[in-house]
Amino acid sequence: MSSPSFFEGNSLAARDAKSLIHSYTNLSQHEKEGPLIIEKGKGIHVYDDSGKEYIEGLAGLWCTSFGFGEQELINAAIEQMQKLPYYHSFASKSTEPSIRLAEKLLEIAPVKFSKAFFVNSGSEANDTVVKLVWYYNNALGRPKKKKIIARMKGYHGVTVAAASMTGLPPLHNDFDLPIQGILHTSCPHFYRYGKDGENEEEFASRMADDLEQLILSEGPDTVAAFIAEPIMGAGGVIVPPVTYFAKIQAVLKKYDILMIADEVICGFGRTGPMWGSQTFDIQPDILSCAKALSSAYLPIAAVMVSEDIFRGMVSQSEKHGAFAHGYTYSGHPVPAAVAMRTMELMEERNILEHVQHVSHRFLDRFAALADHPLVGEVRSCGLIGAVELVADKKTKRSFDPKFKAGHLAYLAMQEEGVISRAVAGDNMALCPPLIITESEIDEMFDRFTRGLDTVASMASKENWRDG
């Protein structure tokens, strides 16, 4: 890590602070403290520029499913670079890698989709989804049916429509978002929002009622779609009640509202099955995916749509002369080739079986943290989970934000050699590469727990619990 004098001389850290803007970073703190520079990676580990080794407990940003240094993916990129380093998909141009990948995605999709469209990031995927929903409803002659309902604490990215759908205030504050026509319904987090005496089933029914009330108050003929991550990631790793999505989808059906599954984190084995939609029995009309699609080795993301939606797009393109949407890099052959190889490796190496097997250890180690003095709730599914740090286990009172419990836990864990992340407050998340072994899971949790212990003793010494 950078020392307090990092900005002296011409070190990489100093050059970073002078030249780079960092995402999701306190920029004034960064000016003072500088970056952690990651130099290389191998398997589930990364190494900083002083040679210190870390377990990448968040698979980067919930994405490097095959960890670091997977030669097969590197080879796929090199081979495609040599053959055709770029081509596009505008005006009926195509490339073999993008065709093969589209076919593969349609083959493994959780429901029958008609077509896949490629973009470069999860945010672009979700912005595309919004435009497609509007375009489709115009094709159907329903110009009023345009509103999109997302959820508080949901995360869908940072571009204008995606950030609007995200239900986290820092993405809206002073960015003049959300845009009009994007609404947010209740967050299905039972631990935080369940009422006294209410069980999880009743809570799930109340969530569906809240959604229905919102639809009715807006007017069902103005609501086009509902978007949800199967498990909310950046919102704190919120695993919904078992019957939540069944109840939500019944409401959507009643009012002819499209279901959009944001599988950007949950897709490609994260929750055990290939898709979070399978884990939670979601029947999406549109699906966005990214991240583990290429194990994040190169940027690529996709949107899949139903035949009905595709037909709407066809009629619009006839009317206007073209489907006027797409990116210079949509279906770029190099990331598409890497993504295709990623999909093949998932099959060749039985990654889904592996996740289903090792996730027992992951879940057990998470469950054991429920007794930790800092932990209010443990949430996990497949190979994703989080602990929520609280000041008072009984009343669920959170720590006063001035103590920065989550941030300090993140630093303490980093010191111990595991990279976690404090998300949506004091929720410490783990989402390791899918290739992690049981013994590596043990090592990751040992380091994670030592980080929690350090913060627990700080909390006691500095009387954080007194408020």
Ligand X SMILES: Cc1ncc(COP(=O)(O)O)c(C=O)c1O
Which residues would be at the binding site for ligand X (CB under 6 A)?
61, 121-123, 126, 155-157, 229, 233-234, 262, 264-265, 290
Q: Kindly tell me which of 34 and 276 has the beta carbon lying closer to ligand X.
A: 276
Q: For 365-419, give the DSSP string.
A: HHHHGGGSTTEEEEEEETTEEEEEE-SBTTTTBPPPGGG-HHHHHHHHHHHHTEE
Nearest to 166 by CA among 432, 423, 428: 423
Cβ 8 to ligand X shortest distance, Å? 34
Q: Kindly tell me which of 153 and 365 has the beta carbon lying closer to ligand X.
A: 153
Q: Kindly tell me which of 116 and 375 has the beta carbon lying closer to ligand X.
A: 116
Q: Kindly tell me which of 276 and 312 has the beta carbon lying closer to ligand X.
A: 276
Cβ 151 to ligand X shortest distance, Å? 11
Residue 110 has φ and ψ, to the nearest 5°, of -70, -20
Cβ 170 to ligand X shortest distance, Å? 14
Q: Kindly tell me which of 157 and 333 has the beta carbon lying closer to ligand X.
A: 157
Token pair for 303: 């949107």
* CB-side neighbour CA atoms (13 Å) of 386: 27
CB 390 within 8 A of CB 398: yes
Cβ 159 to ligand X shortest distance, Å? 7
Q: Kindly tell me which of 212 and 262 has the beta carbon lying closer to ligand X.
A: 262
Strand partners, 377: 388
Q: How far apart are CA 48 and CA 297, in angstroms?
A: 19
CA angle 302, 303, 307 (to 5 degrees): 140
Cβ 162 to ligand X shortest distance, Å? 6
Cβ 129 to ligand X shortest distance, Å? 10
Nearest to 46 by CA among 61, 33, 59, 30: 59
Cβ 111 to ligand X shortest distance, Å? 19
Q: Kindly tell me which of 76 and 237 has the beta carbon lying closer to ligand X.
A: 237
Cβ 158 to ligand X shortest distance, Å? 6
Q: Kindly tell me which of 236 and 417 has the beta carbon lying closer to ligand X.
A: 236
Cβ 166 to ligand X shortest distance, Å? 8
Could you tell me whether strands 384-389 and 375-381 are parallel, antiparallel, or unpaired per DSSP bridges? antiparallel
Q: For 24-53, give the DSSP string.
A: TS-HHHHHHH-PPPEEEEEBTEEEETT--E
Residue nearest to ligand X (CB): 122
Q: Kindly tell me which of 290 and 391 has the beta carbon lying closer to ligand X.
A: 290
Nearest to 209 by CA among 178, 239, 260, 254: 254
Residues 6+ apart with CB under 8 A from 192: 396
- 208 sits in the region (left: phi over 0; alpha: psi -120 to 50; else beta) called alpha
CA dihedral 186, 189, 191, 193 (to 10 degrees): 0
Q: Kindly tell me which of 277 and 449 has the beta carbon lying closer to ligand X.
A: 277
Cβ 127 to ligand X shortest distance, Å? 9
* CA distance readout (Å), 75 to 44, 247, 338, 369, 446: 19, 45, 9, 40, 35
Reported as type and span, the H/E element at residue 262 is strand 258-262
Token pair for 252: 């959507």
